[in-house]
Chain A
Amino acid sequence: MHVPSTVAARLPIGSDMDLTWIRQHVRQAAAELGFGLVQQTKLVTAASELARNTLVHGGGGHMECTPVARGRIHGLRLVFTDSGPGIPDTELALSDGYTSGGGLGMGLGGARRLVHEFTLDSRPGEGTTVTITAWASGPPYPRRAL
Chain B
Amino acid sequence: MTCPRTEVIGAHVPVLTLGDVLLVTVQGDLDDQTAEYLRQDITRAVAETTATGVVIDVSGVEVVDSFLGRVLADIAATVKLLAARTVVAGIRPAVAITLVELGLTLPGLCTALHVEQALRLLREPSGTHRGAHPRQGGV
Contact = CB atoms under 8 A, between A and B. Distances in A.
B94 A113 contact: no
Nearest to B102: A110
B29 A20 contact: yes
Contacts of B15: none
Contacts, number: 87
A6 B32 contact: no
B32 A45 contact: no
Given A110-B102, A114-B101, A25 B94 contact: no
A38 B98 CA distance: 8
Given A37-B94, A41-B95, A104-B70, A23 B63 contact: yes
B1 A16 contact: no
Nearest to B73: A104
B32 A19 contact: yes
Interface size range of chain B in the complex: 20 to 34
A28 B63 contact: no
A48 B63 contact: yes
Nearest to B97: A38
Interface stretch (B3-11, B52-60, B80-88, B113-121): B3-11
B18 interface: no
Contact of A20 (B7, B97, B103): B7
B77 to A, nearest CB: 13
Nearest to A38: B94
A113 B102 contact: yes
B62 interface: yes
B65 A52 contact: yes
B32 A16 contact: yes
Contacts of A109: 103
A96 interface: yes
A21 B95 CA distance: 19
Interface string A17-46: 101110111011100000001101110110
B1 A25 contact: yes
B67 interface: yes
B16 interface: no
B47 interface: no
A34 B94 CA distance: 16
**Smallest CB-CB A-B distances: 5 pairs:** A110-B102, A16-B32, A41-B94, A48-B65, A6-B1
Interface of B: 1, 3, 5, 7, 9, 29, 31-33, 62-67, 69-70, 92-95, 97-98, 101-104
